[in-house]
Amino acid sequence: MLDRIASLVAPAAAAALLTAALPSFSSLAQTPSKEPASVLGFTVKDIDGKDVPLSKFKGKVCLIVNTASQCGYTPQYAQLEAIYEKYKDQGFEVLAFPANEFGTQEPGTNEQIKQFCSAKYKVSFPLFSKIVVKGKEIHPLYAFLTGHATDPKFSGDIPWNFTKFLVDRKGEVIGRFLPKDKPDSPELTAAIEKSLSEK
């Protein structure tokens, strides 16, 4: 009789231990995803190689631009600086990401890029380390910006230097502008002003 009771208890105890040791399906389902839900979820390196969480720009309207120093559109640096100076006190930021994917028009080091932007265009908005914005080695931020699943309204490969993404105060992409679209164009400045007016 005791042997029979022991044989019944042992499997039950083992099952209880196993259940306690393994997470339930519901708890697995509730595990949060590590994929950022917005631009603000990424951390990038500035032009000096220091980590910068983009969450520091929460509450600001940002224009994210892939830049190059030897491009026909390079003079847009001056226009980017002008709109930054015009709107920065209202909570506007320009975030520049040098990239060398198009015509190898950004061959320099981060130090050379920083020096060029400072000396030639007096850039005072944030510059970030050179990254890849297209192809197999694409940076996670640009994979997010151009991916259909993460940015369905404005997805698609970057066509050239100085493609622009407008991001609202919540970190959501609300506009995309072509390289030929000048930073101080009526269309872009109207979009910036509209976003800045929304608190």
Strand positions, DSSP E, the chain: 43-45, 51-53, 61-67, 92-98, 164-167, 173-177
Rounded distance, CA 68 to CA 97, Å?
9
- Choose among 66, 118, 64: nearest CA to 95: 64
Options 39, 40, 54, 71, the catalytic residue: 71
Rounded distance, CA 145 to CA 166, Å?
11
Any idea what DSSP says for residue 71? S
Contact between 105 and 161 (Cβ < 8 Å) = yes
Structure tokens at 107: 């061959």
**Among this protein's residues, is 71 annotated catalytic?**
yes
- Choose among 195, 167, 9, 170: nearest CA to 97: 167
Rounded distance, CA 178 to CA 160, Å?
8
The catalytic site residues sit at 71
